[in-house]
């Protein structure tokens, strides 16, 4: 499997090609399918990484790792 950064670069190239509008319909569909596959792969990789991320908190003068909880989809408490 290609690296995350390589996938993003390929996805950017696909978007650029499609935005120019000079690609025949059949090739546009192929590029779109490839882009969706890459996008889904990147999303899964990000979700996996998100589960592994930890935030270092300073408590009693020492750094302590705590699990990262994403804010997306949560309601802020006031």
Q: Tell me: the pLDDT tens digits for 3-55?
A: 889 999 999 999 999 999 899 999 999 999 999 999 999 999 888 877 676 66
Main-chain dihedrals φ then ψ at residue 68, nearest 5 degrees: -85, 130
CB within 8 Å of 46: residues ≥ 6 apart: none
69 has pLDDT over 80: no
Tokens of 78: 């006031």
Residue 74 has a pLDDT of: 53
Q: How many CB atoms within 10 Å of residue 26?
A: 8
Q: What's the total number of domains in the chain?
A: 1
Residue 46 has a pLDDT of: 87
Q: Which residue range is the domain that position 9 belongs to? A: 4-67
46-72: average pLDDT: 69
Q: Is residue 77 part of a domain?
A: no
Tokens of 6: 């390589």
Q: Is residue 63 part of a domain?
A: yes
Which DSSP symbol is given to 76?
P
């Amino acid at each position: 499997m290609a690296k995350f950064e390589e996938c993003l670069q390929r996805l950017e190239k696909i978007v650029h090609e499609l935005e120019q509008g000079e690609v025949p319909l059949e090739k546009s569909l192929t590029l779109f399918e490839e882009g969706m596959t890459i996008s889904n792969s990147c999303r899964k990789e990000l979700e996996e990484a998100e589960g592994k991320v930890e935030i270092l908190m300073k408590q009693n003068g020492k750094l302590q790792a705590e699990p990262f909880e994403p804010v997306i989809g949560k309601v802020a408490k006031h």
